[in-house]
Chains A and B, each alone.
Chain A
Amino acid sequence: MSDFQTALELRDAIAAQHCSSTQAVQQMLNRIEQVDPTVGAYLSIFADRAIQDAKRIDQKIAAGQPVGPLAGVPVAVKDNLCTTFGTTTCGSKMLEHFVAPYNAHVIERLQAADAIIIGKTNLDEFAMGSSTENSALRKTVNPWDSSRVAGGSSGGSAAAVAAGLCAASLGSDTGGSIRQPASFCGVTGLKPTYGRVSRYGLITYGSSLDQIGPLTRDTADAALLMNIIAGHDSRDSTSASESIAVKPDYLADLKQPINGLRIAVVPTLNAGAEASVQNAIEEALKVYQSLGAERIEITMPHFDYAIAAYYVIATAEASSNLARFDGVHYGYRSPNAGNYIEVYSKSRDEGFGPEVKRRIMLGTFALSSGYYDAYYVKALKVRNLIRQDFVKAFEKADCLMLPVSPTTAFKIGEKTDDPLQMYLADIYTIAVNLAGLPGLSVPCGFDAKNLPIGLQIITNAFTEDKLLRIGQMYQSVTDWHKRNLPL
């Protein structure tokens, strides 16, 4: 069996007993042992547990018992999703040895679907970053070029799929953290609508922006995973009620093209990307036009303010969300503390990395008395204006297409000394989180350095089914997503 089978293919092969889950998992573990020392996708591997789970699934299948929709398929999850097995580190020294007392909602859903959780993947510390270089625990490289970053913050989840170290994975996206690494690593990544997937058990970065989503080989796998993880959960108050937002079967109509698809593009925005990216996007648009789609040029007048608004809102929420990591109840406690104030200050000083501290300080400042109106309240106003931009865009078009990132994967260390440069690279992804919309990244070409380029497709809230169909239209006539690593 190939290392690059899709989750659906593998599931069907296991169900048909063409191969066993145990074999598939064992092969994956062998490959991880071989490749991951170079890639650095994983923070923890559950070899024994995965084999045991696989054997149990194989027995069920052999006995003809009903199994879940991901039965026996090895998947990876980002290490900011709580699991009662292994550690949940968030890529931080603060939680390096933390074992969660409960499983995240999506973990429960994967288990109920009989998926095999093979390991947990690396990330920028507390999901803060765009390159996975901010992980305090491990370095992850881009499987296409080990001198380059995998993107972030779900860099480990993207690299694991790209390198054939799992069939599919889960990541989280606060400002582009699924779509951008998917684009850098040449895989498919979906950030669902805010509220579509329960955040229960996702270690929070920016509560009003975070969303869990799949990183996969193609749109069909993304649809398969959405069928498993999407839907209402009463433990997350921001989880959408299914009476308002019905959860469809994402696989059911996936192969049905959208007739008369109207695609909005923002020429002024695309012009900000490097030439290879611009060209790839133009080529992709031509593919859609050849399928009968109409191209409509629009403006998004408030897009330019998205980064500023995002870095106020996300950091404000983060400064409060991360206050609980204080060395008192769990996590890292400084051995150098002499009193309880020092338990706080020293544990946080020693436990958090520089980017996390930078964002906590930014957010604390934005919420401080005297600055709240000038920063936080103003950022909320911008957020509303950006939402309005999208509302207007969707009056004219079914979807918006633009690059995921202005560049392909950059060199490791290239931007670490210039955080602002790093923030600006989020220009194409951030507005989607501010507006709470679904966004899909699909591979749409390679640059001259043979680095993958991603096309971003955005649709209206709670229309992931349509979004995936639009992605599927492209993948059914192109093979960028099937280009595997030169081994």
Chain B
Amino acid sequence: MSLNYNIIVGLEIHVQLATRTKMFCGCELEFGQPPNTRVCPVCLGMPGALPVMNKAAVEAAILTGLALNCTISRFTKWDRKSYYYPDLPKNYQISQYDLPLAENGYIEIPLEDGTSKKIRIRRAHLEEDAGKNTHTLGNFSAVDLNRAGTPLLEIVTEPDLNSPSEVRQLAQELQRIVRYLGVSEADMQKGHMRFEPNVNLHITQDGQVFKTPITEVKNLNSFRALERSIACEVNRQLDEFLATGKTLQIGNKSTYGWDDVNQMTVLQREKEEAHDYRYFPDPDLVPVAVSDEWLSRIASRLGELPLAMQQRFVRDYGLSDYDAQVLTAEKSTAVFFDAAVRCGAQPKRICNLLTQTGLKLANEKQTTVDALGISPGRLAALANMVEAGQISATSATVIFETMTQTDEDPAQIAEQKNLLQKNDAGEIEALIEQVIWENQKAVSDAKSNPKKAKKAMGFLMGQVIQKSKGQANPKIVAELLNRKLMA
């Protein structure tokens, strides 16, 4: 019996847009506030209150659609999706049904082997979020409507993902994109990005193809949970197929929840409920026409996307894929890095300074590298001093830190702190003569005892640098010492 299978995953993604106010009212989006304090008649669904579209949310959605290479609808509208639930005050959600804001795009995701893959985007539409039900009052439930009316962008991919790691890569890439665009904080723990994968397998057994029933997985609040849940579903579906032979049929889609404690998917709903949402155009809102002028104004905010930037750093600056990825994880780092390189410094030197010192400092201060108080030009100057051998890598770290506190340029700091390396061969040679004179035993070991030569050499180097008060350039010391001992 021969058996192999393909993993088929499509994603339904909700991205919470970081607009100042809600989708259809003026309430500010602030989280962690006391229940029902960020509400008004509109988002409370009070009788007679009417929704007014938040233009900034539509622009953020269009911008994201453009970044996902979608066609932007030039005419769209708002529809009501009806269902009863206590966290939905109007008992309908304002959404977009048959005319989504964006469709037919793709997202290019980096793969672990350094290549990339295009995943097709079916559609992206805007809608309002519901509130939250809590069940801590015994016989009663409580409803907090602070979140009700928050703008959500729902993105639906085609089932083009074929492994758990691809799913994670897409999620991380999408996070990077929306953060680059500044349209979402995209924090999964905080529910800013919610992923609901639809998973099944195409199993080829003895030349025949079988499709397993699709499952939808919910409650995923980390990239790790997302990736693991897919792996779990693959194993579970394979086992189930081998045990029962069950295949995909209309209506046998089921819902599984992710149990993070036991690291497994758990059945939540056996059969898909036959919902009739009774969609119809919301008569309280007017359709949205997207003019050429408006669209191009939004498109001008697009900028270079993270993967393109990452690829450019590898191609044009000769960085490793790993370095390029670290630098492009956050837009502020990437842009700062790029600016420093353009000031005329070796990219790898700047990369090292940023990844080894800059990001660490930014992290300690809970800020970004561009907010450390150092200009790209000064960083380039620092990198050039390392490159020229004027300072050591260790000194560079000290100077970097000092630069965040003072307004002096790196050369001034190096001088004040006596961190300039001695590159003058004559001066260093004099020190070497002195050290050789004072350490005859080590000199003979270095010259003629193969067992101790390396250690002795290191000792002599150390003595020279110590005598220079750490300012002798180690590269030059090693070179001159070697020449002396060989003579």
Residues of A at the B interface (CB closer than 8 Å) are 80-82, 88, 90, 95, 98, 100-102, 104, 199-204, 206-208, 234-238, 316-317, 319-320, 323-326, 328-330, 340, 344, 364, 367-369, 372, 376
CB pair B285 A82 closer than 8 Å? no
Point out the residues of chain A lying under 8 angstroms from B141, CB to CB: 340
Contact B89 A316 (CB under 8 A): no
Interface code B21-64, partner A: CB below 8 Å = 1, 0 otherwise? Answer: 00000000000000000000100111111111100000000000
Residues of A within 8 A of B335 (CB): none
Chain A residue contacts of B286, Cβ below 8 A: 237-238
Interface size on B, residues (CB 8 A): 30
Which one of B80-88, B160-168, B226-234, B370-378 contacts A?
B80-88
- Pick the residue among A80, A238, A328 that contacts B86 (CB under 8 A): A328
Contact of A369 among B50, B89, B278 (CB under 8 A): B278
Q: Are B89 and A329 in contact (CB-based, < 8 A)?
A: yes
Q: Are B46 and A207 touching (Cβ within 8 A)?
A: no
**Given A199-B50, A326-B91: A316 and B280 within 8 A (CB)?**
yes
CB distance from A97 to the nearest CB of B (A): 13
A237 & B50 in contact (Cβ 8 Å cutoff): yes
**Nearest opposing residue in chain A for B81, CB measure:** A320
**Which residues of chain A come closer than 8 Å to B283, judged between CB atoms?**
206-208, 238, 317
Given contacts A238-B284, A238-B285, 13 further A-B contacts (CB under 8 A): A98-B47, A102-B46, A200-B48, A204-B47, A204-B48, A206-B283, A208-B283, A324-B45, A325-B47, A328-B143, A329-B143, A367-B279, A369-B278
B280 touches A376 (CB 8 A): yes
User: Is A101's CB under 8 angstroms from B92's CB?
Assistant: no
B378 vs chain A, min Cβ distance (A): 48
Q: Name the distance in Å between A25's Cβ and chain B's nearest Cβ.
A: 27
- Enumerate chain A residues within 8 angstroms of B89, measured Cβ to Cβ: 324, 328-329
In the complex, whether B349 has a CB less than 8 A from a CB of chain A is no
Partner of A330, one of B46, B51, B280: B46
Distance of B58 from chain A, by nearest CB (Å):
13
What are the 6 tightest A-B residue pairs by CB atom distance, in nearest-first order? A323-B91, A207-B283, A208-B283, A367-B278, A203-B47, A201-B48
Neighbour of A237 across the interface among B53, B80, B92, B279, CB < 8 A: B53
Q: Are B285 and A237 in contact (CB under 8 A)?
A: yes
Q: Is B90 an interface residue (CB 8 A)?
A: yes
The docked-state distance in angstroms from the alpha carbon of A292 to that of B80 is: 51
> Is the CB–CB distance between B52 and A234 below 8 Å?
yes
List residues of chain A with CB within 8 A of the CB of B285: 237-238
Given A326-B91, A372-B280, A104 and B45 touching (CB < 8 A)? no
Give the nearest-CB partner of B286 in chain A: A237
The answer to whether B41 and A101 have CB atoms under 8 Å apart is yes
Q: How far is the CB of B391 from chain A (nearest CB, A)?
A: 61
Interface CB pairs A-B, < 8 A, 25: A82-B47, A88-B47, A88-B48, A100-B46, A101-B44, A102-B46, A102-B49, A199-B50, A201-B48, A203-B48, A207-B284, A234-B52, A235-B52, A237-B52, A238-B283, A238-B284, A238-B286, A316-B280, A320-B280, A323-B82, A326-B84, A329-B89, A340-B86, A368-B276, A368-B278
A80 CB contacts on chain B under 8 angstroms: 48
**One of A100, A235, A325 near B50 (C-beta < 8 A):** A235
**Cα distance A330–B41 when bound, in Å?**
12
Residue contact A101 to B47, C-beta cutoff 8 Å: no
Docked Cα-Cα span, A88 to B50, in Å, equals: 17
Q: What CA separation (Å) do A319 and B90 show in the bound complex?
A: 11
Evaluate contact between A237 and B45: CB separation under 8 angstroms.
no
CB < 8 Å neighbour of B90 from A200, A323, A364: A323
Complex Cα spacing A211 to B305, Å:
48
In angstroms, Cα B141 to Cα A485, docked, is 56
Contact, CB under 8 Å: A101 / B84: no
- A203 to B48 alpha-carbon distance, docked (Å): 4
A207-B284, A320-B280 are contacts. A200–B49 as well, Cβ < 8 Å? yes
Chain A residues closer than 8 Å to B41, beta-carbon distance: 100-102
Which residue of the partner chain, among B48, B53, B280, B282, contacts A100 with CB atoms under 8 Å? B48
A204 to B90, CA, bound (A): 12
> Residue A90 contacts which of B47, B49, B84, B86 (CB distance < 8 angstroms)?
B47
Nearest B residue to A101, CB-CB: B41
Contact between B50 and A323 (Cβ–Cβ < 8 Å)? no
- Cβ contact within 8 Å between B50 and A324: no
List the B residue with the shortest CB-CB distance to A313: B283
- B279 surroundings in chain A (CB, below 8 A): 367
Contact of B80 among A88, A320, A344 (CB under 8 A): A320
Interface bits B300-330 vs A (CB < 8 Å: 1, else 0) = 0000000000000000000000000000000
